[in-house]
Amino acid sequence: MPTEHSIPRGLWLPLITPFRDGALDEASLRRMIAHYSQQPVDGLILAATTGEGLTIDDDEAARLVDVAWDALTGPMPLYLGLCGSDTRKGVKALARTARWPIDGYLIACPYYSRPSQAGLFQHFTALADATDRPVMIYNIPYRTGVNMGNETMLRLAEHPNIIGVKDCCADATQSFELLRDRPAGFSVLTGEDALFYTALTQGADGGILASAHIETKAFAAIRDRLLGGDQAGALVDWRALSWLPKLLFAEPNPAPIKEWLRQTGLIDSAELRLPMTGVSPALAERIAAAIGGAFRV
């Protein structure tokens, strides 16, 4: 698939959005960007699911992007998360953000309306036609209610602006066959934190992992070991790390991650926007124990 776009690979972070007193916490955002700019992170995604994008208005999204771009201390691609079930609104969102300092988009399949495969194909074709930037598809049927099949995905992979997928299809056979059949230049990044090692061993290009807010270097090292041919070492490392996604998804994402980052001082508040709520006291205690090195799941 010929393309002029850079193909996403490695470890990408779907960045949480810090809030304080109902507003974007710009000081914490700058602190996070400075921190992750120095970590082995290959790209950042703003205002996606982990970033509570559904609760962020257009002005806040613009400010989020501006602050993040300004706070970067080195070259790192910034993608913006978009979602919605109205193709026309999606095209307008692409036009509205056309001059924002971002490098591409992560666009989720339409939610709730459950379109056909033909509808999914036409939806993403219309969006990709409406921008010069690269588009990654976000296939997560347990949130949207519709699964993009591999036949549709592979047809969309022929579009020069559609460069990959965040794969959360929750079907091991579908994921394997996509990795087997995809064209050159079409990136598959797993979005299933608990399946990171497995996806890499089957040929995934990396992952978009909320859990990598924590132990970022350890997640990146597993992929580095596999690329270096050390599968046994990567498995040992994964066994030592695999407890973390279980803990961080013990309650709805991103509440546990925000609580961890608050306890370690990277953000000032673990505040979320309704309908999301903070972690239970019991989970906050488990997170504190994990930070202290006393807890594994």
Give domain limits for the chain: 10-231
For the residues of 209-254, what is the DSSP string, one character each?
A: -GGGGSSHHHHHHHHHHHHTT-HHHHHHHHHHHTHHHHHHTSSSTT
Q: How far apart are the first and last CA of the chain?
A: 43
- In angstroms and rounded to an integer, the radius of gyration of the C-alpha atoms of the chain is 18
**Residue ranges for the chain with pLDDT beneath 70:** 1-4, 294-297
Consecutive H or E run containing 291: helix 281-291
Give pLDDT, residue 4. 62
Catalytic residue among 105, 138, 197, 258: 138
Give pLDDT, residue 297. 52
Residue 144 burial class via C-beta count within 10 angstroms: exposed 0-12, middle 13-18, buried 19 and up: buried
As given in the structure block, the two tokens for residue 33 are 């960007």
Helix ranges, 103-230 (H):
117-129, 141-144, 150-156, 172-181, 196-201, 216-227
- pLDDT, tens digit (0-9, with 9 covering 90-100), for 129-152: 999 999 999 999 999 999 999 999
| HEC-encoded secondary structure of 82-101 | ECCCCHHHHHHHHHHCCCCC
Angle between helices 26-37 and 58-71 (to 10 degrees): 40
Task: Quote the CA–CA distance of 41 and 7 in Å, as a whole number.
Answer: 15
Whole-structure pTM over 0.85, yes or no? Answer: yes
Catalytic residue among 36, 79, 105, 166: 166
Q: Which of 239, 283, 238, 277 is nearest to 260 (CA)?
A: 283
Q: Is 43 helix (H, G, I), strand (E, B) or coil?
A: strand
Q: What CATH number matches the domain at 10-231, 3.20.20.70, 3.90.79.10, 3.40.50.1400, 3.40.190.10? A: 3.20.20.70
Consecutive H or E run containing 163: strand 162-167
Q: Is 246 a catalytic residue?
A: no
Consecutive H or E run containing 10: strand 10-14
Place of tokens 């000081």: 27
Task: Quote the CA–CA distance of 79 and 130 in Å, as a whole number.
Answer: 16
Q: Is 142 a catalytic residue?
A: no
